Structure 1
Amino acid sequence: MKQTAQILLLLAVSTPLATPTLAQSKNAQPVRYGTWGVDLSTRDLSVKPGDDFERYAAGRWIDSNEIPADQAQTSVGYDLYNRTQDRLREIITGAPKDSALGAFYASYIDEARLEQLDDKPLRADLAKLDAVSTKSAFTRFMAETLSDFGGTVFGVGILPNPDDSRVNILYVETSGMGLPDKDYYLLDQHKRQRDAYRAYVERTLKMTGTPNPAATADSVLKFETEIAKLSWDKTDLRDFTKLNNQMSPAELARYAPGVDWANYLKTAKVDGVPKLMVADNTAVKALAALYDRTPLSVLKNWQRFKIADQASPFLSKRFVDSRFEFTKTLSGVQQLRPRWRRGIDQVDDRLGDLVGKTYVERYFSPQSKSEMERLVGNLKKAAAQRIRGNGWMSQATKTEALAKLDNMQVMVGYPDKFRDYSALQLKADDLYGNVKQSTRLDWAYAMEDLGKPVDRKKWSLSPATVNAYNSFLQNKIVFPAGILQAPLFDLSADPAVNYGAIGAVIGHEIMHGFDDKGAKFDSAGKLRNWWTAEDLAKFKALTSELGKQYSSYEAAPGTFINGDFTMGENIGDMSGLEVAYEAYKVSLNGKAAPVLDGLTGDQRFFLAFAQAWRGKAREDAIKTQVASDPHSPERFRIIGPLRNLDAWYQAFGIGPDSKFYLPPEKRVRIW
């Protein structure tokens, strides 16, 4: 599978792992947690709330739940994901065998057919690579992999133009590494994973009949290590003001010689654009020079591995197992997920709107959609109140922030228009061909918007996805139906639970528009500084203090969170929780919340928040997350925001004798 483009990750800030709505259609069986939305039996009441609120809220759950052998972690998010997979399985296996859903899934699940074929489907792609005899031909081959199996050292995609977000623009960025981050090639702490990757490269080359696979694997790893040395640090890749480097294709050719850019863009069918964005520009320039001086033989061997690596999930067991032998060192997972689960993932990934249309008909009721939209409206009102009441910000900046909030588009459940897949001609006995077809269709679907007005109605996630996101350049937030399930949103739950769980997630996505990245984009999604100089200086001082807090958290032995890299998500978590809490108080309309099972409304709110993020993960998975994922591990998505919120201290009587106590003057208050 191709790596997700770094720039797209910057622009679609997500909230992975769980959150929100109980769909109560005639086909859905309601799921309940406790009598009012929280399972009180999971608490560990021997722990004081201020010493470890994660354990106080869910310690017994943590102790009693083992991580399944085929998962990197266990959490509410995984529970929702597995529940959704079960529902999708019903839909997909019930589809006609000659339908797109039925044919694709049948081709994936037919292991006997895949064993019979073994590497036969791969041979034509490798033969095509073997026929490449010049660097120019390799450049064309590399461009073709943008919509096929294989690797490229230059990723290409489209996004709204940061200078005019009404129109899409082409961007170019560096690519080519097979490990999660440049640090995996360069730091001793990742030697075990690096060695496993090197062994995987050699196995793959040997299985594809490459001469001298050991020496060839060394050359491949050396080439990717050179790419890593030239690549920008992940923290710099978060700064969009550094990424917005626009130039014409001719200017790119002069800026980064060593690559036939005209040839590359024409082959990718993205030529003819007047301007493009060269994201990590100095790295692109350096990588073009590396590409120019690298022997064709090394590039071809690297490409040979890339093709087989990306194709391996769709080949025989020996290819699948070989790849897993490497990837398990990144996640700590002990065994592959059942094939049917991997197949469901593939169908949802490649035919998401097709299966998603039936999913929302069965599991996402109009009542759920309406209630979600009402909750979002309340959260936006609360966010506006917090902006107006912000004590350190001038009125000029507040006016801009309020305009941005007012123009923020919210999409819930599913897109207004489902995508058309009728161009696909899928076969139940041709998995390899089916994957190729869907990959090409995906590329064409994305590129059809190049140079056209931005369609704010398009989604980047399927309706059944357990996730949500904020797109800065479109100033919109999206909540697919898959994430809208209990225990995070239940139509019959206590309001404190809904605001503490789904409310905090809604708030998180809203406030991404005002984190250290989102705050650089205005109400139209344009990259523009709308801050006064004094306010911006204060904002940076506050975010710096928050970064120091998170950098002090040890996520795994010897592994500390990078407070700068995770800044946006941490601001989203903290500010989103504050917004959700204020929205909950507003929802009471001045009335006192009832006491349920001895818990006040505020206590229930914070318990619901903490239980929404309860989880436990393997050490390797945590280390990989810290190295490559801008989200803090779940434990610190609970503790980090809470210890900065006055209401949490008041709700549980937390004082200076508590482990996670922060004096009021040390608590960071941004929004």
Structure 2
Amino acid sequence: MKNIFVIFIALLSLASCNKTSNIENKPVIEITGIDENLRPGDDFFRYVNAKWYDTVSIPSTQAGVGAYRFMNYPQRIKLKSILDSVSSHEYQEGSIEQIVGDFYASGMDTITIEKRGYDPIKGILNNVEDIKNKSEIMRFVAEAMKMNNNSFMGLYVGPDDKNSAMNMAHAYQTGIGLPDRDYYFKTDAATLEIQNAYKEYLASLLQLIGTDKDVAVKQANLVYDLEKQMAKSHKTRVERRDIKANYNKMAVANLNTDQPFIEWSQFLGYLNTQTDSINVAQPAYYETLNTILNSVPLKDWKVYLKAKTLTNYANYLSTPFVDASFKFTKVLSGQAIQKSRGEKMASAVDGYLGEALGQLYVKAYFPESAKARMLDLVNNVQKAYAARIDKLEWMSDSTKQKAQEKLFAISKKIGYPDVWKDYSKVHIDRDQYFENVLSASENLFQTNLDKLGKPVDKEEWFTTPSTVTAYNNPSANEIVFPAGILQPPYFNNDADDALNYGGIGMVIGHEFTHTFDDQGAQFDKDGNVNNWWTDSDYKEFKGRIQQVIDLYDTFTVLDTLHINGAMTVGENTADMAGIAVAYDAFKMTPQGQDTTKLGGFTPDQRFFLSVAKIWRVKMKDEYLRLWINNNPHSPPIWRVNGPLMNTTPFYEAFDVQPDEAMFLKEEDRITIW
């Protein structure tokens, strides 16, 4: 019913965008740090952020500093404060305070952890040693999977892309220890250093459990070579963006026949579940796995499984194991020294008991007034998006109608879940950190597995309330903004509209656009992979997407390292349209229609200055290299300059001239949505 008159409703409701909060009696938030020696049109990121960037120091325990994901560092300090408090008091057994407090306390009890050494995993390592045949390998892998000890099988339960109302089993490529398959095949100096550091890491862990050094080195090379065999069959990150190619629903009976050494039915039985079909997202991986399960000797598989057990659990053991893990992390990220124990434990509690801790975070740090204003912003950006769709010259009326229906079918989640996850099955012992991790891991795994064959719970969240992030879930056609991101520089309940629309408004527009990016555009309003385009419109859309790929391929980030336009195209598209639609929504507000300066800047200028401030980030070169190779988002500088090069109102706000580096001719500026 709600979609029948969406276009009519959208047109009627545009006027309501003028009813956003006014800024009278609010303090003017000054924008400082602008480098007046730089021209905005040469490098807007540096124009806004250079003074900060050139003087700020990256904390030695971090790989970067600033906004975006690096805001999770101060978030963990807030969480630590909560945990320090609740862990120092007694609470009723089973209460969220008792669960998170005792989990935290067990991880802070380093005296006990040091005394135990690697005793907690000796039983698991003995189980590996007791494996007598190839079939028993699969039993071990299944049992280990329940406890967060993942090796060469990747399995989870989630919506069926062709029937988004129901959950099904999905198998995905896995088995490797480096961040991506390409790390096994590149030969540049930086990658070779990472390869060698990884082998040294494996050898160090094996030595810590008593393996002779020379033997440990040989075993580390064996594990690396086995992973490289698996990596050869992995799809690249760009290939994995193809939604339809990653949907391969297969009958388990056929998998049993075609891949007998994986023993699919038995493997599912070991997990105490069964299903008649699985979506095998990357079939080539499992074909390769089936072959090498047969060809690789049993003794080699035992070494591999021991190594996987050690790498999975190293950070939950005594200091020598944690130090070995960090030595490898340091090469990957450039982080100078380890995080404090309290920060590590805040992350661990958030990861394993996130919605229990989230309840305490929301109570302490998230005002309900922020949720109400945020909903206004989301609704106004949505209305602006509808107006933009109506004005598209390249899209036919029939596809516009489908796009509008999809737009207004989007669910909006803000702040925190209405129904919190249940942790009653997690057993927490204040004196046994490792066992607490296993219990929490088993709960997470079993909770996911229990969804198999059941209707999708559209109320479920896939991030914790305290995390500084936002996401679009295409199978549920929803956008999600946890409480963590609803703070400066993204959102300030006391700020004027220009700052909020340039900040969180841009993020809102970004998440809406994921509904219509190269991947999201393949899902219909109900979250099913289903074509709702005319052939000619989709061809035009793909052509414009290619323009984004081609542009971002030209951006150099580090030395000669370029952005991978094809890998980042979804995020780049969302950035470009996100700014455009947020600006349109801002222009519907009283401030957006005014020209009165605040703090020396016009409303339009404040909007774009806010866009640049929300991506104010500085990171180590090692981490930047890791980012470029693995992250689907462009680095922060290009999340500012790339979209603004294609945003005509930015040119007008800062009088960008043809001789400035960011200038593109108007006919060359890319517009998709």
Q: TM exceeds 0.5? A: yes
Residue equivalent to 2:151? 152
Are 2:29 and 2:599, in contact at CA under 8 Å, matched by a contact in 1?
no
Of 636, 645, 648, the residue aligned with 2:647 is: 645
Q: Does 1:39 align with 2:31?
A: yes
Of 521, 543, 546, the residue aligned with 2:545 is: 543
Are 2:64 and 2:70, in contact at CA under 8 Å, matched by a contact in 1?
no
Are 1:36 and 1:494, in contact at CA under 8 Å, matched by a contact in 2?
yes
Residue equivalent to 1:467? 469
Residue equivalent to 1:595? 597
Deviations 1:345-364 (A, max 9, x none): 11111111111112112211
Residue equivalent to 1:89? 80
Structure 1 residues 99-178: aligned runs within 5 Å: 99-178=98-177
Residue equivalent to 1:554? 556
Residue equivalent to 2:405? 403
Are 2:203 and 2:219, in contact at CA under 8 Å, matched by a contact in 1?
yes
Residue equivalent to 2:324? 322
d(CA) in 1 for partners of 2:470 and 2:591? 29
Are 2:427 and 2:440, in contact at CA under 8 Å, matched by a contact in 1?
no
Are 1:74 and 1:616, in contact at CA under 8 Å, matched by a contact in 2?
yes
Deviations 1:270-329 (A, max 9, x none): 31x122211011222222212221111111111101111111111111100001101111
Deviations 1:161-204 (A, max 9, x none): 11110101111112111101111111012111000001111111
Structure 1 residues 370-385: aligned runs within 5 Å: 370-385=372-387
AA at the equivalent of 1:207: L
Residue equivalent to 2:53? 62
d(CA) in 2 for partners of 1:379 and 1:590? 13
Residue equivalent to 1:244? 247
Q: Does 1:659 align with 2:661?
A: yes
Are 2:615 and 2:636, in contact at CA under 8 Å, matched by a contact in 1?
yes
AA at the equivalent of 2:126: A
Residue equivalent to 2:269? 266
Cα pair distance change 1:579/1:274, threshold 3 Å:
same
Secondary structure of the corresponding residue to residue 225 of structure 1 = helix
Structure 1 residues 199-210: aligned runs within 5 Å: 199-210=200-211
Of 208, 216, 219, the residue aligned with 2:219 is: 216
Are 2:386 and 2:407, in contact at CA under 8 Å, matched by a contact in 1?
yes
Residue equivalent to 1:505? 507
Are 1:160 and 1:454, in contact at CA under 8 Å, matched by a contact in 2?
yes
Q: What is the root-mean-square deviation of aligned Cα atoms in Å?
A: 1.4
Secondary structure of the corresponding residue to residue 599 of structure 1 = coil
d(CA) in 2 for partners of 1:184 and 1:36? 49
Residue equivalent to 2:339? 337
Deviations 1:401-450 (A, max 9, x none): 11111110000000010111122221111011000000000011111211
Structure 1 residues 179-328: aligned runs within 5 Å: 179-189=178-188, 190-210=191-211, 212-271=215-274, 273-328=275-330
d(CA) in 1 for partners of 2:560 and 2:294? 39
Displacement of 1:78 = 5.4
Are 1:174 and 1:287, in contact at CA under 8 Å, matched by a contact in 2?
no
Secondary structure of the corresponding residue to residue 564 of structure 1 = helix
d(CA) in 2 for partners of 1:640 and 1:195? 35
d(CA) in 2 for partners of 1:277 and 1:180? 23
Displacement of 1:222 = 0.3
Deviations 1:544-585 (A, max 9, x none): 111111111111112111000001111111111111011000
d(CA) in 1 for partners of 2:620 and 2:77? 24
Displacement of 1:209 = 2.4
Structure 2, unpaired ranges of 5+: 1-25, 92-97
d(CA) in 2 for partners of 1:536 and 1:255? 37
Displacement of 1:113 = 1.3
Displacement of 1:107 = 0.9
My pick for the range that moved more, 480-489 or 432-441, is 480-489
AA at the equivalent of 2:432: D
d(CA) in 2 for partners of 1:473 and 1:459? 13
AA at the equivalent of 2:241: R
Displacement of 1:38 = 5.1
Are 2:164 and 2:456, in contact at CA under 8 Å, matched by a contact in 1?
yes
Residue equivalent to 1:50? 41
Secondary structure of the corresponding residue to residue 524 of structure 1 = coil
Are 1:97 and 1:428, in contact at CA under 8 Å, matched by a contact in 2?
no
- Count residues in correspondence: 636
Displacement of 1:616 = 1.0
Are 2:524 and 2:530, in contact at CA under 8 Å, matched by a contact in 1?
yes
Residue equivalent to 1:22? none
Residue equivalent to 1:8? none
d(CA) in 2 for partners of 1:635 and 1:568? 17
Are 1:352 and 1:462, in contact at CA under 8 Å, matched by a contact in 2?
yes
Of 626, 632, 639, the residue aligned with 1:624 is: 626
Residue equivalent to 1:669? 671
Are 1:237 and 1:243, in contact at CA under 8 Å, matched by a contact in 2?
yes
Displacement of 1:254 = 2.9
d(CA) in 2 for partners of 1:112 and 1:39? 48
Structure 1 residues 381-460: aligned runs within 5 Å: 381-460=383-462
Displacement of 1:256 = 3.2
- TM-score, length of structure 1 as denominator length: 0.93
d(CA) in 2 for partners of 1:432 and 1:228? 30
Are 1:38 and 1:497, in contact at CA under 8 Å, matched by a contact in 2?
no
Secondary structure of the corresponding residue to residue 154 of structure 1 = coil
AA at the equivalent of 1:516: D
Cα pair distance change 1:577/1:270, threshold 3 Å:
farther
Displacement of 1:83 = 2.9
Are 1:97 and 1:103, in contact at CA under 8 Å, matched by a contact in 2?
no
Q: Taking every aligned residue pair, what percent have the same amino acid on both sides? A: 35
Residue equivalent to 1:16? none
My pick for the range that moved more, 285-294 or 421-430, is 285-294
Deviations 1:72-113 (A, max 9, x none): 111123563233223222221221356111211111111111
Cα pair distance change 1:168/1:149, threshold 3 Å:
closer
Residue equivalent to 1:496? 498
Structure 1, unpaired ranges of 5+: 1-33
Secondary structure of the corresponding residue to residue 209 of structure 1 = coil
Secondary structure of the corresponding residue to residue 166 of structure 2 = strand
Residue equivalent to 1:5? none
AA at the equivalent of 2:31: D
Secondary structure of the corresponding residue to residue 445 of structure 2 = helix
d(CA) in 1 for partners of 2:57 and 2:402? 48
d(CA) in 2 for partners of 1:224 and 1:591? 59
Residue equivalent to 1:518? 520
AA at the equivalent of 2:39: K
Cα pair distance change 1:593/1:361, threshold 3 Å:
farther
Secondary structure of the corresponding residue to residue 172 of structure 2 = strand
